[in-house]
């Protein structure tokens, strides 16, 4: 791999050995910080709605899992659930089993970020690139039991293997690894296809420069992309799900989602770029620069939110987290421009690395101590259930799913969810969580009742409802007797009798 030119002083064997040991010490220390915080947080923090879906589906065998995804019980490809399934088989608890693959995949992204950046910057700046994603919202997916960390890990790996193949380094191995990286990414999250656009742009730039097609790279990329064809039977359920998806493509979501989630990292990148241009001097230390095709690929991946927005106009669903891959080129550019501003000095690199480590620790610690969504509401529902004996219907799917997952056996026999995706769409103009539970009911023990069968199943019950639930509205429209007994902020307990 091309090494950054740092000075004209010839390094002695002793200096090189010291540098190697220092690099190993720094990398090892940084890895310990990341893994210890991530593993502790993953094991301590309860699962939330999306992660409960992962945990429940991961308990199914391959055939039932395929049927569940085909029915629309979740919207991810099957590869996401298989590692979790194996970890469950080893007796690991649900929190760690669901999140451990994400922790390792995010760590894989950090390794490939180091390798990508190390070609152009000294060690400390390359280590800064590893932890730079924690400056953004991408850092929260290090311990999220969904497919976002796999997106990041596979995309960073694909960029590295592609870069190596373009330089004819161990080319057969790199092309094989490139195809596998793309396939693994798509196998975990459909939005991983964004890397294909980036690689296409990079290859188009190479074509313009060399006037020839690199058939090896083209075949490897197409082979990896063919994974999507394997999941074709699952796509109709996803299209149905997206019709009433909660996240709709909008300029507001695009602009503010990127600004809130990635604004700090992007702002630092732009500042360092501007300073590197302003402070450029003819006799400055010459650092290696990425070739044009690599820069183009990175820039296109940096525009992943725009790609996601345009795709959302077709599919009907968009949220910025589906474009989390933008953190990869942002981290590389940050390291390169910061190195030029700091002239490659170890002190400036150490300061940047320390800042990134602080953000890493902060994001992972916040994950530990911050309550999961609706955790306080779930605790309030448990308190109400302790002073009653009848059935309880939970109006919110986001509350019901984790509440049932962690409930005691006596409470599990008393709580229910009532589902009707059409009514949810009519009243709330979206039905994503309701649709999930409706399709998941045949593949999990959760008691989900159709609204049309509610009267026969539960002639009277207590309803726990918030302002964003469709059920209370529909009960009142149908003239059902509903009386409020007590409230806690926006949540209220009602007695319902047919």
Helical residues (DSSP H) of 342-467, grouped into ranges: 346-369, 375-385, 397-406, 409-412, 421-428, 432-440, 454-457
Name the 3-class secondary structure at 491.
strand
Three-class SS state of 417: strand
pLDDT level of residue 284 (50, 70, 90 thresholds): low
Average pLDDT over residues 8-32: 75
pLDDT tens-digit readout, 462-495: 999 887 789 999 999 999 999 999 888 778 899 9
Tens-digit pLDDT profile for residues 81-125: 999 999 998 989 999 999 999 999 999 999 999 999 999 999 999
pLDDT number for residue 6: 46
The pLDDT of residue 349: 93
Residue 282's pLDDT is 55
Instruction: Provide mean pLDDT across the span 248-273.
Output: 94
Average pLDDT rounded to a whole number, residues 347-368: 90
Position 143 pLDDT exceeds 80: yes
- Predicted confidence (pLDDT) per residue in 217-240, tens digit: 999 999 999 999 999 999 999 998
Strand order of the β-sheet with 392-394 is 448-450, 415-419, 392-394, 460-465, 491-497, 481-488
Give pLDDT, residue 89.
87
Flag whether pLDDT at 2 surpasses 60: no
pLDDT of residue 28: 87
Whether 375 has a pLDDT exceeding 80, the answer reads no
Q: Is it the case that residue 131 has pLDDT exceeding 90?
A: yes
Structure tokens at 372: 């999961």
Q: How far is CA 277 from CA 45, 76, 197, 336, 345, in A?
A: 45, 43, 28, 12, 18
Is residue 3 over pLDDT 50? no
pLDDT at 230: 95
CB atoms within 10 A of CB 252: 8
CB environment 56-68: b (16+ within 10 A), e (fewer): bbbbbeeeebeeb
This prediction has a pTM of 0.92
CA nearest 48: which of 386, 465, 396, 490? 396
Closest CA to 140 of 54, 269, 77, 48: 48
Q: Are 11 and 19 in contact (CB under 8 A)?
A: yes
Cα separation of 3 and 497, whole Å?
Answer: 74
Per-residue buried b or exposed e for 443-458, using 16+ beta carbons within 10 Å of the residue's own CB: bbebbbbebeebeeeb
Q: Is 414:391 a contact under the CB 8 Å cutoff?
A: yes
**How many C-beta atoms lie closer than 10 Å to residue 362's C-beta?**
13
pLDDT tier at 182 (50, 70, 90 boundaries)?
A: very high
Q: Is 497 exposed, middle or buried (0-12, 13-18, 19+ CB in 10 A)?
A: exposed
| 489: region left, alpha or beta (phi > 0 left; psi from -120 to 50 alpha) | left
pLDDT at 356 (0 to 100): 95
Kindly state the helix (H) or strand (E) to which residue 21 belongs, with its residue range.
Answer: helix 13-44
Res 8: pLDDT = 42
pLDDT (mean) for 44-63: 93
With CA atoms as reference, report the closest residue to 34 among 127, 126, 151, 97: 127
CA distance 184 to 204: 24
Give the percent of the chain with pLDDT over 90.
73
pLDDT beyond 90 at 207: yes
Say yes or no to pLDDT of 309 above 60.
yes
C-alpha to C-alpha distances, 63 to 69, 72, 227, 238, 387, nearest whole angstrom: 10, 15, 18, 19, 42
Question: Is residue 7 scored above 60 in pLDDT?
Answer: no
Q: Is the pLDDT of residue 354 over 70?
A: yes
């Amino acid at each position: 791999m091309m090494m950054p030119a740092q000075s004209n002083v010839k390094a002695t064997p002793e200096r090189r050995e010291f540098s190697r040991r220092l690099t190993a010490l720094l990398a090892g220390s940084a890895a310990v910080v990341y893994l210890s915080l991530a593993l502790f947080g993953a094991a301590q923090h309860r699962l939330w709605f999306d992660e409960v879906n992962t945990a429940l589906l991961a308990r199914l065998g391959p055939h039932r899992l395929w049927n569940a995804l085909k029915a629309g019980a979740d919207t991810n490809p099957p590869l996401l659930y298989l590692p979790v399934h194996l970890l469950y088989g080893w007796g690991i608890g649900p929190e760690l089993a669901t999140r451990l693959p994400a922790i390792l995949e995010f760590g894989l992204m950090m390794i490939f970020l180091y390798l990508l950046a190390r070609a152009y910057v000294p060690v400390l700046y390359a280590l800064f690139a590893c932890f730079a994603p924690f400056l953004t919202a991408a850092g929260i997916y290090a311990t999220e039991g969904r497919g976002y960390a796999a997106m990041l890990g596979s995309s960073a790996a694909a960029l590295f293997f592609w870069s190596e193949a373009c330089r004819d380094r161990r080319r057969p191995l790199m092309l094989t690894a490139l195809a596998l990286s793309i396939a693994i990414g798509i196998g975990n999250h459909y939005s991983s296809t964004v890397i294909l656009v980036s690689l296409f742009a990079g290859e188009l730039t190479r074509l313009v420069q060399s006037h020839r097609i690199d058939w090896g790279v083209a075949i490897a990329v197409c082979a990896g992309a063919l994974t999507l064809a394997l999941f074709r039977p699952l796509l109709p359920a996803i299209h149905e799900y997206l019709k009433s998806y909660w996240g709709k493509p909008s300029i507001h979501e695009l602009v503010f989602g990127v600004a809130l989630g990635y604004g700090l990292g992007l702002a630092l990148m732009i500042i360092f770029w501007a300073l590197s241009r302003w402070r450029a001097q003819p006799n400055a230390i010459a650092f290696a620069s990425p070739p044009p095709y690599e820069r183009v690929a990175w820039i296109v991946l940096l525009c992943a939110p725009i790609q996601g927005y345009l795709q959302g106009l077709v599919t009907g669903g968009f949220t910025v987290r589906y474009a989390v891959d933008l953190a990869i080129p942002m981290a590389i550019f940050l390291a390169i421009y910061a190195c030029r501003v700091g002239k490659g000095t170890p002190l400036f690199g150490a300061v940047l690395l320390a800042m990134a480590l602080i953000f890493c620790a902060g994001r992972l610690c916040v994950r530990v101590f911050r309550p999961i969504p609706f955790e306080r509401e779930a605790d309030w529902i448990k308190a109400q259930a302790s002073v009653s004996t009848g059935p309880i219907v939970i109006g919110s799917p986001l509350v019901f799913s984790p509440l049932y997952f962690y409930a005691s056996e006596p409470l599990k026999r008393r709580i229910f969810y009532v589902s009707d995706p059409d009514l949810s769409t009519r009243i709330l103009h979206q039905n994503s969580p309701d649709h999930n539970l409706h399709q998941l009911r045949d593949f999990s023990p959760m008691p989900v009742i159709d609204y049309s069968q509610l009267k026969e199943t539960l002639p009277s019950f207590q309803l726990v409802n918030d302002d964003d639930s469709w059920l209370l509205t529909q009960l009142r429209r149908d003239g059902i007797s509903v009386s409020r007994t007590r409230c806690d902020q926006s949540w209220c307990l009602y007695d319902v009798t047919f």
